[in-house]
Amino acid sequence: MPKLPESNPYKLKVLGIAGSPRRDGNTDHLLHQVIAGASSHGAKTKTVILSELNILPCRHCDGCIKTGKCVIDDDMQWLHTDLRKADRIVLASPIFFMGVTAQTKAMIDRCQALWVIKYVLKLPVAINPDEERSGIFVSVGGTSLRNLFQPAMATVKSWFTTLDIKYDGELVFSGIDEKEAILRHPTALHDAFVAGQKLAAVNMPK
Ligand SMILES: Cc1cc2nc3c(=O)[nH]c(=O)nc-3n(C[C@H](O)[C@H](O)[C@H](O)COP(=O)(O)O)c2cc1C
């Protein structure tokens, strides 16, 4: 695939999703840096804070099964559109009981309507299906358990697959528990900024 010229006017749309209920906590700081890194590479960025949105859990009512549209009228309606438009997604969630937070899981489960679009209606999930979409998972956990991030990563990978987003890896830190412990980590914030730059540096379109 030839590289795009430097003057390529296409601006990558990068969507950051803050999944922690703790504002200005560890994953918020990491996400902020990833988004700053992407922005420094010319990406158009937007961050949504799940704990400030009204997102009910999926009811498995099958109301979406014929249309691909969720019948619950809350913030997920516009977030579905943002998820379908994004070129890059950065999902940030700390580990809660070995998984993602309840706010994050509610948002993921509500993407069942997008699963219907893809697997039942057999229509493209992405608004621009010709453009490559990718995303990363950003996380921290208070403990240093082996395989701490594996269950959450499995959830995120499954969600990305449904959204036709290539899983581009994770940026995770264990042993980070206090609210701003990540600020004392020797490399984390820099690592996050660089991850954002890399995410936005990939050439478009596919
Ligand atoms: C309800 C709850 C469950 C948690 N479960 C785990 C866990 O299973 N494993 C772990 O390592 N840390 C766990 N933690 C600790 C958080 O992952 C940790 O405090 C993290 O730094 C929070 O990130 P934040 O500041 O971005 O919210 C839990 C914290 C809470 C409040």
Distance 95 CA to ligand 1 centre (A): 5
Q: Is 95 in the pocket of ligand 1 (CB under 6 A)?
A: yes
- What is the CA(25)–ligand 1 centre distance, in A? 11
Q: Which residues of the chain have pLDDT under 50?
A: 1-2, 4-8, 204-206
For 67-113, list the strands marked E by DSSP: 88-92
Q: What is the pLDDT of residue 9?
A: 63
Summarised one tens digit per residue, pLDDT across range 48-104 is: 999 999 999 999 999 999 999 999 999 999 999 999 999 999 999 999 999 999 999
- Ligand 1 centroid–CA 49 distance in Å is 17
| Ligand 1 atom closest to the CA of 145, numbered from 1 | 11
Ligand 1 centroid from CA 76, angstroms: 25
Res 203: pLDDT: 58
Pocket test for ligand 1, best of 22, 51, 96 (most atoms within 8 A of CB): 96
For residue 147, how far is its CA from the centre of ligand 1 (angstroms)?
A: 15
Q: Is 147 in the pocket of ligand 1 (CB under 6 A)?
A: no
Query: What pLDDT is attached to residue 10?
Result: 78
Q: d(Cα 127, Cα 118) in Å, to the nearest integer? A: 12
For 136, residues 6+ apart whose C-beta sits below 8 A from its C-beta are 34, 89, 90, 91, 167, 168, 169, 170, 171, 195, 199
Q: What is the pLDDT of residue 60?
A: 98
DSSP 117: I
Mutate to test the pocket of ligand 1, among 31, 95, 138, 146 (most ligand atoms within 8 A of CB): 95
Q: pTM score > 0.75 for this model?
A: yes
What confidence score (pLDDT) does residue 7 get?
Answer: 41
**64 contacts 73 by C-beta, under 8 angstroms:** no
Rounded Cα distance, 197 and 12, in Å: 12
Does ligand 1 come within 6 angstroms of the Cβ of 19?
Answer: no
Cis peptide before 129 (omega within 30 of 0): no
Query: Quick one: pLDDT at residue 119?
Result: 98
